[in-house]
Amino acid sequence: MIQYIGIERIKEIVRRVGAAKFMEGLALEIEADYRRWHEFDKSPRHAAHSPVGVIELMPISDGRDYTFKYVNGHPKNTASGLLTVTAFGVLADVDTGYPRLISELTFTTALRTAAMSALAARWAARPSSRVMAMIGNGAQAEFQAIAFRHMLGIRELRLFDTDPRATDKLIRNLAAFGLEDVNIMRCASTAEAVRGADIVTTATADKRNAVVLTPEMIAEGMHLNAVGGDCPGKTELHADILRRADARVIVEFEPQSRIEGEVQQLDASFPVIEFSDVVLGAARARENDRQVTIFDSVGFALEDFSSLRYLERLHRDIGGSQPKLDLIPPVRDPKDLFGDLLSGREQQQVRVRAV
């Protein structure tokens, strides 16, 4: 039997741990895995594009455990009442090839994306950062707001979305969650939200080269957490922001980010810093308070690997309901798979005859 974490179970786990603590714990897990970057067998994800979205497979292994995530990105989905991003994933043993866990990863992707964003900002943003602008107030937004409040000490959020109902929802959810010590301001435009911010998070969804942030909006010392540009032909930043002489661009896995990140707009010689080099001390994310740091987030398989192992541990440790899936047959003779297939049928026939 395989461990199974479905929607009710992930809600139970996050409720028990607390959303902020969950993300902080996950960020530590992700950081620890980035520190052993060279142990991983890595590849850019496999993407199947259509005119309206993308479906992606994200495999990775450290030689002991193997994981993959199935994830989609369909910006127009929300117009018909569907999520832009949904996901699930599998954790398996490399030695036997047997899967150990299958888990929902829709909530988990939002939690891990925010955990990764806050982790990158811990290394790259000025430590005195207290004000964050949030452009795009959809499904990812609460997770980002809570992670940055908890892990960075953000005390003012400046919100803007082209859909005012998304901002209404974000304000409502953050009030219900209880961010009493955070001053929340609704802004009339991206430019207004960004003015005076230490950190700018962009989490918009639009399958095109959008220009959400323009060069004149960017002030010295800012940290940009660019989450929404994560596919070929889907970006959020004007390329001249990346080209600023004082800009430092941090990516997760360079071969994937060159295809999917904001840096797809620039040629392959444009210098980027891999996050693993930052945590391993081979590069510095920021050298002074005047530089503009940019976390060009696309989401890398390692973060889902960390998430699945973190979930496996929490699932075991916190107790409660632990449903399992009968996905792999419990064969009596491994060379007699056919016999095992028939065995249920025979038993059924015997039962039918007995009736």
Just list the catalytic residues: 230
Please state at what angle helix 7-17 crosses helix 301-317, rounded to 10 degrees. 80
Shortest distance, CB of residue 76 to ligand NAD, whole angstroms? Answer: 9
Q: Which of 23, 152, 203, 314 binds ligand NAD (CB under 6 A)?
A: 203
- Choice between 166 and 222, CB closer to ligand NAD: 166
Identify residues 138-167 at the interface with ligand NAD (CB under 6 A). 138-140, 160-163, 166
Question: What character string, x for contact with ligand NAD (CB under 6 A) and - otherwise, covers 19-38?
Answer: --------------------
Q: Which of 137, 256, 257, 264 binds ligand NAD (CB under 6 A)?
A: 137
Identify residues 165-194 at the interface with ligand NAD (CB under 6 A). 166, 190
Q: Which amino acid is at 346?
A: E
Near ligand NAD by CB under 6 A, which window of 10-18, 149-157, 178-186, 201-209? Answer: 201-209
Identify residues 219-238 at the interface with ligand NAD (CB under 6 A). 227-228, 230
Q: Judge contact between 85 and 234, C-beta under 8 A.
A: no
Binding-site size, ligand NAD (CB under 6 A): 31
Near ligand NAD by CB under 6 A, which window of 28-36, 134-142, 215-223, 326-334? Answer: 134-142
Identify residues 334-353 at the interface with ligand NAD (CB under 6 A). none
Q: Which amino acid is at 103?
A: S
CA gap 29, 25 in Å, rounded: 6
**Is 129 a binder of ligand NAD (CB under 6 A)?**
no
Identify residues 263-302 at the interface with ligand NAD (CB under 6 A). 297-299
Identify residues 67-126 at the interface with ligand NAD (CB under 6 A). 73, 75, 78, 84-85, 109, 113
Buried b (16+ CB within 10 A) or exposed e, 253-288: bbebbbebbbbbbbeeeeebbbbbbbbeeeeebbee
Shortest distance, CB of residue 74 to ligand NAD, whole angstroms? Answer: 9
Q: Per DSSP, what are the bridge partners of residue 225? A: 201, 295
Q: Which of 27, 212, 242, 301 binds ligand NAD (CB under 6 A)?
A: 212
- Choice between 119 and 139, CB closer to ligand NAD: 139
Near ligand NAD by CB under 6 A, which window of 5-13, 176-184, 206-214, 274-282? Answer: 206-214
Which tokens in the block code for residue 179?
Answer: 């961010």
Shortest distance, CB of residue 213 to ligand NAD, whole angstroms? Answer: 10
- Residues forming contacts to ligand NAD in the complex (CB under 6 A) are 73, 75, 78, 84-85, 109, 113, 135-140, 160-163, 166, 190, 203-206, 210, 212, 227-228, 230, 297-299
